[in-house]
């Protein structure tokens, strides 16, 4: 059987695999990123720069640029601790290092305060239960 031919020089993709430049369906992107399809649709509603091509029946096809943007959004939300608004601000300001908002993680001092408050609440509950 002959090898798969590519329309793009240097894009030697084995038979049965899509080229890096190929459009992807929502389920392919969801599987690749490890998120559910409804998450991708939600992100689409929150980030106007994600614009998959839609075919008849509303089937979405994501461009390679969309997939890369979704990958960045996932990293910022799931690994860096940003909120949706924080990621929106990140992209709005051009995503340069000076414009990056701080992640929404609580500083250690706040964590200690919360632990103390939780202890106090447990003590109060114990008094009420008696």
- Reported as a pLDDT band with limits 50, 70 and 90, residue 70 is very high
Residue 124 and residue 130: Cα distance in Å, rounded?
10
CB 62, CB 24: distance < 8 Å: yes
Ordered structural domains, the chain, with CATH: 24-104 (1.10.1660.10)
Higher pLDDT, 21 or 72: 72
* Sequence-separated contacts (24+) of 90-94 with Cβ below 8 Å: 91/47, 91/49
113 pLDDT more than 80: no
Q: For the residues 72-85, what does the mean pLDDT come to? A: 91
77 pLDDT more than 60: yes
- Reported as a pLDDT band with limits 50, 70 and 90, residue 8 is very low
Instruction: Give the model's pLDDT for residue 98.
Output: 43
Question: How do residues 41-67 score in pLDDT, each as one tens digit?
Answer: 999 999 988 889 888 888 889 999 999
Pairing of strands 53-54, 60-62: antiparallel
């Amino acid at each position: 059987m002959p090898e798969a031919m590519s329309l793009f020089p240097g894009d030697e993709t084995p038979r049965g695999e899509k080229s890096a430049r190929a459009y992807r369906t929502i389920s392919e992107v969801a599987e690749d990123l490890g998120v559910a399809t409804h998450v991708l649709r939600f992100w689409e509603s929150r980030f106007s720069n994600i614009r998959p091509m839609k075919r008849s029946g509303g089937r979405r096809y994501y461009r390679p640029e969309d997939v890369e943007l979704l990958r960045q959004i996932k990293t910022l939300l799931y690994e860096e601790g940003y909120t949706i608004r924080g990621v929106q601000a990140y992209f709005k300001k051009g995503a340069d290092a000076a414009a990056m908002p701080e992640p929404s993680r609580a500083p250690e001092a706040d964590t200690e305060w919360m632990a103390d408050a939780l202890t106090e609440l447990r003590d109060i509950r114990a008094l009420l239960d008696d």
